[in-house]
Amino acid sequence: MSRFRALLRTTAVRLSALYLGLFAISAVVLVFYVTDMTTSLLTNQTKQVVQDELKVLGNFYRRGGVALLITHIDRRSREPSANLYTIAAPNGSILAGNVASLQPGILDRQGWTERPFSYRRFYQPEGTPGHQALAEVIFLPNGMRVLVGRDLGEPTQFRTTIRRSLAIALGIMVVGALLIWFFIGRGALHRIDRVSQASQKIMAGDLSQRLPVSGSGDEFDRLSGALNAMLGRIEKLNEGLRQVSDNIAHDLKTPLTRLRNRAEAALSGADDAAEYRAAMEDMIDESDQLIRTFNALLTISRVEAGSAVAEMNDVDLSQIARDTEELYEPVAEEAGVQLSSAIADGIHVSGNRELIGQAFSNLIDNAIKYSADNQAEAEVVICLENVDGKKVLSVRDNGPGIPENRRQDVIKRFVRLDESRSKPGTGLGLSLVEAIMDMHGGQLVLESNGESGQTGLHAMMVFG
Amino acid sequence: MKILVIEDDLEAAAYLIKAFNEAGIVTDHASDGDVGFYLATENTYDVMVIDRMLPKRDGLSIVSELRKKSIETPILILSALGQVDDRVTGLRAGGDDYLPKPYSFSELLARVEVLGRRKGMRDNETVYKVADLELDRLAHEVHRAGQKINLQPREFRLLEYLMKHAGQVVTRTMLLENVWDYHFDPQTNVIDVHISRLRSKIEKGYDEALLRTVRGAGYILKSDS
């Protein structure tokens, strides 16, 4: 029962009920209009026939008087037709014609009968209901009355038939609509039930659940698709949040512990001002590193939440590439890395200069840091070019590279390859680059540098 | 120098007052927005340090209200919000500098000193001089003891900034902001490398080291003589 009520509440059912109601009303109006039109048309026709007859009979009357009139009425009465003829004496007794009896009072008034009246024919058996007719009555100068009329059987039957068939058609329509409602509405209800079941599970905390998609591409699928995309985004943000809190627990505790240990060691060590000073300075360095990690984490989550989108402008990528190269050139030189570049001029994107600059310096920083190990000819190449309509800002190095199966991992927060743990860094650099590229509708692509056999990383910031 | 600190965290404020006093800076303190605004309009200060989130009256509204009243005292905004867009809104409201929390006191002190001595200081000078080092801003030339030193454009701007603030500590982030116009914190000590390269150009072969490292803070360009 409650399912039936739920069915009644669906939009499809409500809408179709409304349409059905409107349609039925207009159909009924149509039926009455059509039948009325037909009836009045037929009535006019009847009157026309009657008047023609009267004209003919009038001629006979003028030519041969009452005798000829009666003869002709008598003759016409014998012909099978829907016409009625009566001639009556002034006292009302019927002299000739094909009518056995009339509704009383019909012959008392001259002219058209106002409404159909009933009468009986001669051959009509007793007890059957009378016929209906329209007629015109004329008083002759001698007081005799002539009635010429026409039976209404045909038009009445016609009207009844039309009404009945229309009623049947309407009935079939209502039944059909009810059936269609039932199945469509039930189908819709079924799908909505599945959607709400899925959302219940999601609300219970299982963000990996998705709304069902039937694959038909209809409006339900489109809605589910959009909601699923939204869920995907929420899941990603949520995942990020959880990762951050996990990471804070694991990765920030380590430097905090170091910090505490350093302070403890200084306190329990020799009572020496120089020693204290050294410890303090170490602790400041350690906390600066902590703050740096915090800032990087915050920047990532802010960028991922999209709150920096407001500060998007037209930025000159070429200028950023040159500035960053210039910023890192002495760093590379000191690390014994040869830094070169191929920067195309005048490449612009819509973005945030600060963030793109930060992302790109992360990549260069990494490239220099890791290629510096390549004893002989450490080399880093900065490149900005248009590739298939995409703007690609990239850094190649010939360091150890990243194994293909770990390339997705290193983008995650705090993930560092074992080989790189000895290097300074927060483990957040590539995560930040990816978040920034995401915000710009672009991508961070990591590939191995050059032909097979060569090591090194080709890190690309691809702007759409 | 006399400054006003509007900061609602009393412990942080007490520490700031003590540290500023030790650095020879007279400090007034207000712990909420209303008192802060009153002090800012009634007294004259060289610099104001205003926390962004304050009870009773928001820091940014104090800044924009002071600017409306044509009080042009340099203002440094302190905030726990340190993202690119926060900095932009802070500066748009009329702040002169923006320092995200947590900050080191040496960073704050360096910035306050630069703001406090900024007024009409050296912007009009075309030649900066420290001891025997000379920088000609119009000719884009640097001489030391009469000897011309060739610098790259960025090295020139770096030295220009250091000489403009000669005798004051400038931090690495201040250099990155003012010379490169970037506000992020590069992971490696990019600035140190630029400084050491500049140092080798202006100091190699000369007796006095002018460009010195201040541990835990940054750099200072000065002469002892």
Which of A84, A47, A77, A57 is CA-nearest to residue A140? A57
Report the gap between the CA of A447 and the closest CA in chain B (Å): 23
Q: How far apart are CA A354 and CA A294, in angstroms?
A: 18
Domain shared by A33 and A121, yes or no: yes
Helices (H), chain B: 10-22, 33-42, 59-68, 84-92, 105-116, 153-164, 172-175, 190-203
Q: Is residue A201 part of a domain?
A: no
Cβ-based interface (< 8 Å): residues of A facing B: 281, 284, 288, 291-292, 295, 298-299, 302, 307-308, 310-311, 323, 326-328, 330-331, 334, 352, 354-355, 357-358, 361-362, 365, 368-369, 424-426, 429
| Contact at CB, B185 and A298, closer than 8 angstroms | no
| Contact at CB, A331 and B193, closer than 8 angstroms | yes
pLDDT level of residue B82 (50, 70, 90 thresholds): low
Report the gap between the CA of B132 and the closest CA in chain A (Å): 26
| Contact at CB, B83 and A298, closer than 8 angstroms | yes
Most confident among A119-123, A154-158, A365-369, A376-380 (mean pLDDT): A365-369
Domain shared by A50 and A132, yes or no: yes
- Domain limits for position A98: 12-156
pLDDT level of residue B19 (50, 70, 90 thresholds): very high
Q: What tens digit of pLDDT does each residue of A283-327 get?
A: 888 888 888 788 788 788 778 777 656 578 898 999 999 989 988
Domain shared by A97 and A123, yes or no: yes
Domain shared by A246 and A259, yes or no: no
Q: Which two tokens stand for residue B152?
A: 């790259």
pLDDT above 90: residue B48: yes
Domain shared by A316 and A384, yes or no: yes
Q: How far apart are CA B134 and CA A207, in angstroms?
A: 65
B contact test, residue of A277, A315, A329 with most B CBs within 10 A:
A329
Domain shared by A276 and A225, yes or no: no
pLDDT above 60: residue A452: no
**Over A36-80, what HEC string results?**
HHHHHHHHHHHHHHHHHHHHHHHHHHHHHHHHHHHHHHHHHHHCC
Q: Is A322 helix (H, G, I), strand (E, B) or coil?
A: helix
Q: Please give the residue that has the higher pLDDT: either A452 or A294.
A: A294
Q: What residues pair up with B142 in beta bridges, in sequence order? A: B135, B149
Residue B84: the pLDDT is 63
Q: Is residue A1 part of a domain?
A: no
Q: Which residues from chain A sit within 8 angstroms of residue B154, using beta carbons?
A: 326
What is the value of ipTM here, to two decimals?
Answer: 0.81
Q: What tens digit of pLDDT does each residue of A203-249 get?
A: 887 778 888 887 777 888 888 888 888 888 888 888 877 876 777 77
Q: Is residue A5 part of a domain?
A: no
Q: Find where tokens 């409201």 sit.
A: B93
| Contact at CB, B154 and A326, closer than 8 angstroms | yes
Q: How far apart are CA B99 and CA A10, in angstroms?
A: 57
Q: Identity (one letter) of the amino acid at A247?
A: N
Q: What is the pTM of this model?
A: 0.63
The tally of domains found in chain A comes to: 4
Q: Find where tokens 């080092």 sit.
A: B133
Averaged confidence pLDDT in chain A: 82
pLDDT level of residue A7 (50, 70, 90 thresholds): low
Cβ-based interface (< 8 Å): residues of B facing A: 82-85, 88, 100, 102, 104, 154, 180, 182-188, 190, 193-194, 196-197, 215-216
Q: Which of A32-36, A102-106, A345-349, A453-457 has the lowest mean pLDDT?
A: A453-457
The CATH number assigned to the domain holding A133 equals 3.30.450
Q: Where in chain B is the domain with CATH 1.10.10.10?
A: 127-221
Q: Is residue A162 part of a domain?
A: no
Q: How far apart are CA A275 and CA A281, in angstroms?
A: 10
Which of A351, A296, A283, A298 is CA-nearest to residue A320? A351
Domain shared by A257 and A244, yes or no: no
User: Mind giving me the DSSP string for A259-287?
Assistant: HHHHHHHHHHS---HHHHHHHHHHHHHHH
Q: Residues A1-26: what's their mean pLDDT?
A: 73
Domain shared by A215 and A268, yes or no: no
pLDDT level of residue B120 (50, 70, 90 thresholds): low
Domain shared by A120 and A213, yes or no: no
Contact A349, A390 (CB under 8 A): no
Domain shared by A438 and A369, yes or no: yes
- Nearest residue of chain A to residue B194 (CA atoms): A330
Q: What residues pair up with B134 in beta bridges, in sequence order? A: B129, B143
pLDDT above 60: residue B130: yes
A contact test, residue of B155, B181, B190, B198 with most A CBs within 10 A:
B190
Q: Which residues from chain A sit within 8 angstroms of residue B187, using beta carbons?
A: 292, 362, 365, 424-426, 429
Angstrom CA distances, B138 to A191, B133, B156, B160, B222, stand at: 76, 16, 12, 11, 22
Q: What tens digit of pLDDT does each residue of A373-409 get?
A: 766 788 888 989 988 888 999 898 888 888 888 888 8
Q: Which residues from chain A sit within 8 angstroms of residue B84, using beta carbons?
A: 308, 311, 352, 354-355
Domain shared by A316 and A459, yes or no: yes
Q: Is the peptide bond before B100 cis (omega within 30 degrees of 0)?
A: no
B2-116, CATH topology level: Rossmann fold (3.40.50)
What is the number of CB-based contacts under 8 A between chain A and chain B? 68
pLDDT level of residue B157 (50, 70, 90 thresholds): very high
pLDDT above 60: residue A201: yes
Q: How far apart are CA A426 and CA A413, in angstroms?
A: 9
Residue B195: the pLDDT is 92
Architecture per CATH, domain B127-221, reads as: Orthogonal Bundle (1.10)
Q: What tens digit of pLDDT does each residue of A92-143 get?
A: 788 888 887 777 777 788 888 877 888 877 766 666 667 788 888 888 888 8
Contact A351, A369 (CB under 8 A): no
Which of B87, B210, B96, B100 is CA-nearest to residue B159? B210
Extract the runs of DSSP E, i.e. beta strands, from A274-332.
313-316
Q: Is residue A173 part of a domain?
A: no
Contact B172, B214 (CB under 8 A): no
| Contact at CB, B190 and A291, closer than 8 angstroms | no
Crossing angle of helices B59-68/B33-42, nearest 10°?
20
pLDDT above 60: residue A39: yes
Domain shared by A151 and A16, yes or no: yes
Contact A361, A327 (CB under 8 A): yes
Q: How far apart are CA A72 and CA A343, in angstroms?
A: 118
pLDDT level of residue B14 (50, 70, 90 thresholds): very high
